Amino acid sequence: QGCMQKYIVKNYFYYYLFKFSAALGEEIFYITFLPFIYWNIDHSVSRRMVIIWSIVMYIGQVSKDILKWPRPLSPPVVKLEMRTDAEYGMPSTHAMSATAISFTFLVATVNQYKYPLELGVAAAFVFSMLVCLSRLYTGMHTVLDVIGGALISAVLLVLLYPAWDTIDHLLLTSPFCPLLSIVVPLVLCYNYPKLDYYSPTRGDTTTILGAGAGATVGFWLNNQYAAPAYTSENFQLGFPLMTSKIGVVVLARFFVGIFVVLLMRQLMKSVVLGVLRYRYKFSIDDLEARRRLEVEVPYKFVTYSSVGFCATVLVPLLHELLGLM
C-alpha cells in the first residue's frame, strides 16, 4: 500500500485526456474556474455555484466516511493516483462536483444569456461525463461509485433549486450571515466523522468549507458596501458579447486575480502554520502533528477562508484600482 504500480501507457490520447479530466475535479480547477466566473461573467451565477458546490461536496465527503465502501482493489486495477487512495470510494466526489458545477452553471445562466439550451446541456453532460470516466480510467472508483455520486448530486440540485433565490437573498442581506458563514462550517469541520486511521477527507472538507465561508462573507460585504445585488437596478457583471478588447481585460483580470489568490494562499499557509507550530510545539516536518484535529482544521480553514475572501473582495478592489473593472 502506498506504492505506485508500474504500468505501460498504450494510448496517450486517453491517458492525457483522462488525467486532465481528473484535474477538473480537484483544487487546481476550483481555485481558477470559480473565481473566473465571479470576476468575469456574473456575480449571481458565481454565488450559486459556490454555495451548491460547498453543500454537495460536504455531503459527499461525509457520506464516504459514513458508508466506508473501499476503493477498487489494486491489483487487478492499476491506480494512477495515490493521494486519494487513503479515502473511501462511495460516492465519487469528483462525479458529484462535476455534476453540480456544470449543471448549476447551466441552470443559472440559461435564462440570463442567449445560447441554445441544447448546446448548454451537451456541454454540461460532456464535462461531467469526462470527469466521471476519468475516475474509472485512473482506477480510483468503481462504476457504482461514479453513478452514485452523479445521482446524489443531481438529487441535491433538484432539492436545492427551489430555494436558490431565498438562500441567495438571505446570504446577501441577513445581518447574521458573516457569523453563521464562519461558525456553521467550523462546527461541521470539528465534528467530522471519526475514522480508525487518518484520511485526507476531513482536511479536504475543511478546505472546501473554508473557501465557501470566506467567499460568502465576501459576497455579503460586497452587497452591503460595494454593489448591492437587490436594488431597483439589477446588478450584473458579465459580457454576453465578447470582443478582442474585452478579451484582453478578461485575461488581465484572471491573471492578476490568480496571482493574488495564490500569493494569499501561500502567505496564509506560512503564517497560520507558524502560529500553530508555536502554540502546539511541533516540527515543520512532523506530518502526524499536522494531521491532528486541533492543527489541521484551523490551518486549512483559516488559509482557505482567506483565499475565498481574497477572491471576492480584495481582488475586485485591485481590479478597480488597476482600471480593469
* φ, ψ for residue 129, nearest 5 deg: -65, -40
**Count of CA atoms in the C-beta half-sphere (13 A) of 256:** 20
319 is catalytic: no
Q: Which of 43, 94, 169, 319 is catalytic?
A: 94
One-letter amino acid for residue 245 of the chain: K
Can you point out the beta strands (E) in the chain?
Answer: none
Cell of 172: 446577501
One-letter amino acid for residue 14 of the chain: Y
141 is catalytic: yes
Do residues 97 and 56 touch, judged by C-beta distance below 8 A? Answer: yes
Cell of 116: 441554445
Write the DSSP string, 117-159: HHHHHHHHHHHHHHHHHHHHHTTS--HHHHHHHHHHHHHHHHH
Longest dimension (CA), the chain: 62
Handedness of CA 103, 19, 258, 285 (dihedral sign): positive
Q: Which of 43, 141, 169, 319 is catalytic?
A: 141
Cell of 222: 460586497
CA distance 200 to 83: 8
CA distance 193 to 190: 9
Q: Give the catalytic positions in this structure.
A: 94, 141
